[in-house]
Amino acid sequence: MKQFKFISVGIINTIVGYSVYALFIMLNIPYLTSLFLATIIGVVFNYFSIGCLVFKSEGGSITFVKFVVTYGIIYLVNAVALRTLITIFKVGAYVGQVLCVPISVFLSWILMNYWVYKND
C-alpha cells in the first residue's frame, strides 16, 4: 500500500519538479542550475507531500535533515546522469531530464523508505 501511495504522490511531485525545471530551461538558465533550483523547490514541496501523505510522518529536525541529504544525493546522481546524457549522448535538456526520472524515483524510494522514514 505504501508503494502505491509513494507512486501516486511521486507522480504529482515529478510533474511539479519537472515543470519548474522546464520553466527554468525556457528562461535560458543552464540545465544544471535549473536542476538545482528545481530540486530546492522540490525539497519543500516533497517534504510535506511525501512525509504526510505517504509515510504519515510529523517530521522533525532529524527527519528534515535526512530528507535534505537524500535530495542532495538524488540531485548529484541526477546531475551526473543528465550531464552525461547531454554532453556525451547529445540528448536535449528536456528529454534528458525525462530519462533521469526513473533513476531519481528509484533512489528516492530506497532512501525514503529505508533511511529517512525507516522508524515511522
Per-residue pLDDT of the chain (120 residues; tens, 9 = 90+): 788 999 999 999 999 999 999 999 999 999 999 999 999 999 999 998 998 889 888 778 999 999 999 999 999 999 999 999 999 999 999 999 999 999 999 999 999 999 999 875
- pTM for the model stands at 0.93
The C-alpha atoms of residue 53 and residue 43 are separated, in whole angstroms, by 15
Considering all CA atoms of the chain, what is the largest pairwise distance in Å, rounded to the nearest integer? 43
Helix (H, G, I), strand (E, B) or coil at 55: coil
The C-alpha atoms of residue 58 and residue 73 are separated, in whole angstroms, by 23
